[in-house]
Amino acid sequence: MFYRDGIIYRSTFLEGYSGIVHGFSARRGGVSTIDYLSSLNLTGGLGDEEENVRANTEIFAKAVSKGMIGGDSAVTAHQIHSAKVRIAGPGNRGEGFSRDRGEDCDGFVTDRSGILPIVRTADCVPILMAGTKPDGSYVIAAVHAGWRGSAGGIAGVAVEKMCELGCVRDTIRAAVGTHIRQCCYEVRQDFVDSVSEARDPGFAARHIARENGKYRADLAGMNLEILNEAGVSPDRVDVSPFCTACRPDEFFSHRASGGKRGTMGAGIAIISRT
């Protein structure tokens, strides 16, 4: 279940792992003052001052970790709507915050403590995951899944990378954060064709409804199927009940704002070893 905790949202599924902290931001609690970025915008280059983005990242990191770690532990990358996931370590701390970003990607996996991978979204799907190794230590993931990444199977790629680091597959739990849901995600024929091509026509038919000549895509459904294929069954996946485009007062939404918007963050970190 998702619930609000101050300026962020958390999933009770991930809180079952006591050595992990995680959170999904919304719009409130930041320092950005321009109306469409107000106020917790986490991405530079959208019209915000760099120092605002840095201050917001600090605020977000503290909120996620209940004050235990700050923005200098954050790791962000330029996101490219791919299925590329990087394994991050202590050497990546501060990327995109206090130093240059590393290689472009749309997800991070780590088994090291004290680093906070953050993915950023404004309608796309943020996914946070955690699981354990046989010795009880943690492996975590943060994933940005737009429709290309969703159909491209990035959630499954992240699961495989977690298992490469030693995670036991059937310990993995996932939280699918707030994104544009099927109620508001109208798409065109070219979208249907692209999803069919990226995956297969059956996948497209299962997750894109057609009604009165209009198509609506279900990004959560796509990711639930991809995760299930990777061995993470739906009963281990928590899905946010909210929709960014239904609530542009609460969440940044690319669609609802016509593209003039900030971004939200989803971050996760290992705080203690077990």
Selected from 204, 245, 256, 268, the binder of Zn ion by CB under 5 A is: 245
Residue 194's alpha-carbon distances to 190, 199, 201, in angstroms, are 6, 8, 10
Cis peptide before 39 (omega within 30 of 0): yes
Report the nearest approach of Zn ion to the CB of residue 170 (Å).
33
Angle in degrees, CA 19, 25, 28, rounded to 5: 135
CB 151 within 8 A of CB 198: yes
- Interface segment toward Zn ion; rule CB under 5 A; list 19-27, 128-136, 179-187, 219-227: 179-187
Selected from 4, 99, 183, 234, the binder of Zn ion by CB under 5 A is: 183
Report the nearest approach of Zn ion to the CB of residue 245 (Å).
5
Backbone angles phi, psi at 223, to 5 degrees: -70, -35
Selected from 87, 184, 187, 271, the binder of Zn ion by CB under 5 A is: 184
What number of chain residues touch Zn ion (CB under 5 A)? 6
Q: Which is nearer to Zn ion, 58 or 250 (CB)?
A: 250
Our finding on whether 1 is near Zn ion (CB under 5 A) is no
Q: Please list, residue by residue across 51-85, b when 16 or more beta carbons sit within 10 angstroms of its beta carbon and e when fewer do.
A: ebbbbbbbbbbebbbeeebbbebbbbbebebbbbb
Report the nearest approach of Zn ion to the CB of residue 181 (Å).
5
Report the nearest approach of Zn ion to the CB of residue 26 (Å).
15
Report the nearest approach of Zn ion to the CB of residue 133 (Å).
38
For residue 33 the two structure tokens come to 């003052």
Q: Which residues contact 245 (CB under 8 A, 6 or more apart)?
A: 123, 180, 181, 183, 184, 185, 253, 255, 256
Selected from 87, 192, 246, 271, the binder of Zn ion by CB under 5 A is: 246
Question: What residues line the site for Zn ion (CB under 5 A)?
Answer: 181, 183-184, 243, 245-246
